[in-house]
Structure 1
Amino acid sequence: MVKTMSEVNFNSKAFTYADNALVQKSASEVLLKLLSIQPEEDVLDIGCGPGHITKKIAQVTKGTVQGIDVSQGMIEQAVSSSKELPNLKYSVMDAESFELNTKYDVIVCNSCFQWFQKPEQVLMRCFNVLKEGGRIGVQAPATQSYCPNFISAIEKIRMHPYTREVFSHFKSPWLFFDSKEEYKRLFMNYGFDIIYSELREESNLFSVEQAYKIYQSGAENGYLNQSFYTVTLTDDYISTFRKLVKEAIKEQADSSGMVNLKFERIYLIAKKQ
């Protein structure tokens, strides 16, 4: 059975996530520009991770900024790096079950919507904690071909004689819609007006090592998570899996050693009616 977001363990990535999540940070800049947070607005950052984006938000507004994440390790890292900002606080909370008394002008959901097994629960809670006229901004990988590079690498896992049997017991945890209309419909069903929505294909050149670290910062949290297998993962399986993925990414490099990493992303801004 697929586990809920609260059972996904990101603690081991807490100290490296901010350095390796290059595409997530780049996409967050687009999202924050679209949201245009104002100097007095109160902001909730859902799935804040180690707080590198939350900290940036707290430097834009004098309002209350609250970051929540399911990972204790991520929150500990966020707290330790943000002590100088009095308007910023963090809590360990699951996006699908959080309860907060504060009302917010803005909710930021950067690179985590794809992990929600019960998005309707998340949206109901977001609607409840938004002020009238408040807005929510989401940026996330989208479509079943969310990253052709990673999907191609995983085909190597699916076919390799050592990994194919265990991988056949993997069940994808991700929520991917193939059109912006599906995302819009979901938000509208829970009382939101859509201000902006766009499904983009983004591509950037990275070294093989950078591309592999980007994979580890996101996709690996699903592909090598015991919660999403019905058989036990061994150390040998994990090490072989990583070796094969890195080899596959290396094979994608051009003559100068760079990988053209492509992502499909949804950007959506919605307003509470």
Structure 2
Amino acid sequence: MDYNREYYTNGIVQLDAAKQLMRLMPRQADSVLDVGCGSGKVAHLIYEHILPNFMLAIDSSAEMINQARLLHPDSKVMFSHQKIEQFVSNQSFDLITSNSSFQWFQNYDASINALKNALNPRGVFVLQTPYKQNWCPQVSVLINEFFTRYYPELGQCFTLPCMHFDDPEQYADLFESKNFTTASLVTRNFEYRFTGDDFRKFFMSGAYKVYTHEKSYSVAIPDRFAEDLERFVSQKVINQSVFAVTISRVLACFKPHI
């Protein structure tokens, strides 16, 4: 599977969560920065919702940015390969967004400082991200079965590579410690009854990246591991017609403390 190429189609939950996140956004903003834009689908939803005079969308993956440019050749959104930890701009932004990307930031002190420096004093930062270590119980059951059957020793070496606070208030504490004010913070459980094929797409849009990421393990991943995981999931969806799934997300709006 080519994760970067298929993310645009497979990001079912990320898209649904983004639609909820847009409710926290102002209806007007002259300038917008989208952090972790992936292949650009949500960035365009945001652009169409707000119609800013200027919008920049960044991602730490060069291949994701290439996909965004290929998929949106006439876009009014400027796509750029940049990491938020190192982001510097002469442009200040009325709105900064992070949809399903915050958990992947590498350095949270540097990232939040970069966000604050890029934000207008009266601007807003809106965030949507998974929370809870067990962010989707159904995926946990599936992956535990996979490890038990095929890679029991490797399963003992797994650590979640991205940040999922168990308590949503910890997100408020983190930003308030960086001189932000919490304007809004809510949690939402997204519930689905997926067909087998849709469950596979959902798994491949997020969990697959988590469980095949080299930084998830304290030992080297076997060469066939990613292929075996994809095959296992494909076989499971053949044998089950409906998958009931619950995904926990936190949605928040922060403002610089003035």
Match in the other structure for 2:126: 137
How far apart are the structure 1 equivalents of 2:85 and 2:238? 37
- Cα deviation, 1:228-264, whole Å, max 9, x if unaligned, reads 334333343323223334455666x5xxx22111101
1:198-213 superposed matches below 5 A: 198-213=186-201
TM-score, length basis structure 2: 0.92
Cα separation, 2, equivalents of 1:238 and 1:16: 15
In structure 2, stretches of 5+ residues that fail to align are none
* Whole-Å separation in 2 of the counterparts to 1:96 and 1:245: 34
User: Which amino acid in the other structure matches residue 63 of structure 1?
Assistant: N
Output the amino acid matched with 1:261.
V
Alignment of 1:12-91 (within 5 A): 12-38=2-28, 40-59=29-48, 60-86=50-76, 88-91=77-80
In the superposition, the TM-score normalised over structure 1's length comes to: 0.87
CA distance in 2, matches of 1:196, 1:248: 39
The yes-or-no answer on 1:171 pairing with 2:159 is yes
Aligned pairs, number: 256
Equivalent residue runs for 1:70-219 within 5 Å: 70-86=60-76, 88-160=77-149, 162-219=150-207
Distance 1:22 1:137 in 2: 20
Q: Is contact 2:32–2:52 with CA below 8 Å preserved after alignment? A: no
Identity of aligned residues (%): 27
Q: Against the structure 1 CA distance between its residues 128 and 262, is the aligned structure 2 distance closer, same or farther, given a 3 Å change threshold? A: same
- 8 Å contact kept, 2:212–2:225: no
Deviations along 1:12-48, whole A, 9 cap, x unmatched?
422211110001000000101221341x421000000
Instruction: Give the counterpart letter for 2:68 in structure 1.
Output: A
SS at match of 2:78: strand
Following the alignment from structure 1 to structure 2, what is the Cα–Cα distance between the partners of residues 177 and 225? 19
1-side partners of 2:26 and 2:158: how far apart?
Answer: 40
- Please tell me whether the aligned partners of residues 156 and 245 of structure 1 are also in contact (alpha carbons under 8 angstroms): no
Q: Which runs of 5+ in 1 are unaligned?
A: 1-10
CA distance in structure 1 between the aligned counterparts of 2:226 and 2:6, rounded to whole angstroms: 19
Partner of 1:261: 245
Cross-structure match for 2:216: 228
Structure 1 residues 167-194: Cα deviation after superposition (integer angstroms, max 9, x where no partner) = 3333320101112211110111111111
